[in-house]
Amino acid sequence: MSQEINLKQTAELLQKKDDFAVICHASPDGDTLGGVYALCGALQKMQKRAKVVLPDAASTRFNYLKDAAVPQEFDEKFTITVDVADSVLLGSSEKDYKDRISLCIDHHVSNTRYADNLLLDSDAAAACEVVYMLIKELSELHGKDIMTKEIAACLYTGISTDTGCFRFSNTTANTHRITAELMEYSFDCAGLNYLLFDMRTKERVELERQALEGIEFAFDGKCAVITLTKEMLDNADDEDVNAIGSLPRQIDGVEAGVTFKERKKDEWKVSIRTKNYIDARQICAQFGGGGHQRAAGCRIKGSLSECKERLLKVLGLSIR
């Protein structure tokens, strides 16, 4: 049902069509948001009608992305998803759109091929890398450069957030090459970096302080555990909580970083992030959870001390 097409075919398809809805995934991050606003802006520069569809409100941190495109009202005729590996990830947009996505632009090897046409590059660190290549192709076809400073800022947002500001292992030579080309458009890159990577809310600083206060080590410092109680989580937003979850693994000598988050009385959401050799997914699977090799999660019921003991007992078997 789904047909995989290349950059040139995608550009030719878009040039023939009009009245685009460009759709994000639920709980939108920098990559899906940057990609949809960039593509929407580029299509508008080609004198086409294009609008963004958000299943959830985006964090206000990303407000500047809206500058890349003008809000337009019309009935859509061609639907595009960006960075959406599976139609279930459309969230509240799923019921309206799931069976009528004309084109999906993605970088997940796990893409479920739900769209009529698929432009996929699983070597790309971010969907925004693919959108960048597509906009270059569209510029060529259109006979002039449709990239703007604002579009470049959107694409930079996706690329830099999906790579942890060029730190993660998905970063490639091509990621830096594309970023170099984007920076030629002179958006305020240092300003974005502050907003995306340096700024911490006061609430986050307080949560971090409390988390560090209660940090515990096990197995000669090879495992670090932090605990976030319901009371601590009440004032925190998800982004802050996620950032804190990466803290224990950052500590020198720690192979497994564990975060206990209190969901309700005697129920804990546990996330495990490992560094080099422990299979976090396999450990979480023993408690009915899942995830990736180096980052996985599960739920455990019981008092905090019971839950910790049960988890550490399993984890201990893998510590070398």
The Cα–Cα gap between 223 and 232 comes to 22
Q: Is 181 near a copy of itself (CB under 8 A)? A: yes
Which residue, 179 or 227, has its beta carbon nearer to a copy of itself?
Answer: 179
Query: Given the rule CB under 8 A, which of 7-15, 73-81, 187-195, 306-314 is the region that contacts a copy of itself?
Result: 187-195
Which residue, 40 or 247, has its beta carbon nearer to a copy of itself?
Answer: 247
Least CB distance to a copy of itself at residue 80 (A): 28
Reduce the DSSP state of residue 49 to 3 states and report it: coil
Least CB distance to a copy of itself at residue 45 (A): 22
Which residue, 111 or 274, has its beta carbon nearer to a copy of itself?
Answer: 274
Number of residues that bind a copy of itself (CB under 8 A): 41
The Cα–Cα gap between 27 and 155 comes to 18
Which residue, 96 or 206, has its beta carbon nearer to a copy of itself?
Answer: 206
Task: List binders of a copy of itself among 199-228 (CB under 8 A).
Answer: 199-202, 205-206, 208-209, 212-213, 215, 217, 221
Q: Quick check: 252 and 276 in contact, CB under 8 A?
A: no
Tokens in use for 29? 């991050």
Reduce the DSSP state of residue 223 to 3 states and report it: strand
CA distances from 101 to 6, 11, 64, 79 (A): 17, 17, 27, 5
Least CB distance to a copy of itself at residue 163 (A): 10
- CB-count burial class (<10 Å; 0-12, 13-18, 19+) for 291: middle
The Cα–Cα gap between 50 and 61 comes to 23
Q: List the one residue from 197, 263, 303, 309 that touches a copy of itself (CB under 8 A).
A: 197
Which residue, 77 or 200, has its beta carbon nearer to a copy of itself?
Answer: 200
Pairing of strands 290-291, 295-301: antiparallel
Q: Is 190 near a copy of itself (CB under 8 A)? A: yes
Q: Is 183 near a copy of itself (CB under 8 A)? A: yes
Query: Given the rule CB under 8 A, which of 40-48, 142-150, 191-199, 298-306 is the region that contacts a copy of itself?
Result: 191-199
* Cβ-based neighbour number of residue 16 at 10 Å: 7
Query: Given the rule CB under 8 A, which of 1-9, 120-128, 173-181, 307-315 is the region that contacts a copy of itself?
Result: 173-181
Q: 304-311: long-range contacts (C-beta < 8 A, 24 or more apart)?
A: 304/227, 304/260, 304/262, 304/268, 307/260, 307/268, 307/270, 308/225, 308/260, 311/258, 311/270, 311/283, 311/287
Taken in order 104, 106, 112, 113, is the CA torsion positive or negative? positive
Q: List the one residue from 149, 177, 263, 292 that touches a copy of itself (CB under 8 A).
A: 177
Q: Is 174 near a copy of itself (CB under 8 A)? A: yes
Q: Is 169 near a copy of itself (CB under 8 A)? A: yes
Q: List the one residue from 173, 234, 305, 320 that touches a copy of itself (CB under 8 A).
A: 173
Q: Is 193 near a copy of itself (CB under 8 A)? A: yes
Least CB distance to a copy of itself at residue 233 (A): 18
Reduce the DSSP state of residue 128 to 3 states and report it: helix
Q: Quick check: 51 and 73 in contact, CB under 8 A?
A: yes
What residues are paired with 270 via a beta bridge?
A: 260, 298
Which residue, 109 or 199, has its beta carbon nearer to a copy of itself?
Answer: 199
Q: Is 171 near a copy of itself (CB under 8 A)? A: yes
Phi, psi of 201 (to 5 degrees): -75, 160
Binding site for a copy of itself (CB under 8 A): 165-169, 171-177, 179-181, 183-184, 189-190, 193-194, 197-202, 205-206, 208-209, 212-213, 215, 217, 221, 247, 250-253
